[in-house]
Amino acid sequence: MSDEVTYGTYLSLDALLALQRPRSQPEHPDELLFIVVHQASELWFKAILHDLDGLVAALEAREVGQALWRVQRVNTLMRIVSEQLSSLSALPPQHFAQFRTFLGTSSGSQSIQFRAIEAASGLRDDHFMHALEERGPIPPLVQRALGRPTLQELFLRVLDGAGAKLEDLYLGPGPGLLFFLAEALLEYEQQFAQWRFKHVQLVERIIGPQTGGTGGTLGSRYLMRTVDQRFFPKLWEVRSRFFGVKKPPGAP
C-alpha cells in the first residue's frame, strides 16, 4: 500500500463523504442538503472552539495583539457559519415535511459543540443552565468551558492589568489595541446574534412560527428567546455612560 499523501487521503474524503446517510424511505432528494448543512456547521463549530481556546490563552497571557487576531478569525468563521445556513432557505416547507419525521427527536439544541461555544463565550444565566441540565449530565466539553472564566471576565482582567477602565478605551487621543479588541469582541457577539436571528427566520420560513421543534422545544419561539442573550453586557452598558445614562440599580 502506498504511503503517499494525496488530497483524498489527507482529508480522509472516503470516510467523510460516507457520513451523509439519509434516513428517509424512499430517500428524499432534499435530505442530503439538510444533512450536509448541519454536518458542515459542526465542522465550523470545531474550528471556532479551537480559536476560542486560543483566544482564552491569549487573554490569560495578556497578549492583546494575539487575542485580537484570534477573535477576528472567530468573527470570520461566524460569518461563514451564518451564510451557509442560508442555503436551507432553498428547502421548501412541503419537501421538509416529507422527511421531517425521519429525524426522530434529533434537534440542533442537542449540539454539544454549540453549547460549548455558548459556555465558552460567557452564557451562565438560569435559562441556559436549565437547557443544559434538562438533558442529563452536562457533557465534558461543555463542563470544560463552564469551568473557565468568561471572555468578558478575562478581558476585564486584561484591562485591570493595564491600569485601565472600560471608559478609558473610548477616551483619549486615539484608539489603541485594547479598544480594537473590545470592538472585535462586540462584533463577535453581533455575529452570534445575527446567526441566531437568521436561524429563527429560517425555522419560521420552513415550519412556521407555531410548529414545535423535533427535539420537544417550542421551535422558533424557543429560539427567539435566545436572541437577546449577552456575552459582554458591560461592553454594551459602557456606551450609555457617554450619553448621560446612569447604571441600573445594583449594577457593578
- The residue written with cell numbers 458591560 in the block is 234
Q: What is the pLDDT of residues 21-33, one digit of tens each?
A: 999 999 999 999 9
| Cα distances (angstroms) measured from residue 238 to each of 3, 153, 223 | 58, 15, 27
Given this model, what pLDDT does residue 41 score? 95
Record the cell numbers describing residue 196, joined without a space: 441566531
Average pLDDT value over all residues in the chain: 89
d(CA 202, CA 221): 12
Greater confidence (174 vs 116) lies with 116
Given this model, what pLDDT does residue 225 score? 61
Architecture of domain 24-242: Up-down Bundle (1.20)
Q: How much is the pTM?
A: 0.89
Count CB atoms within 10 A of the CB of residue 19. 9
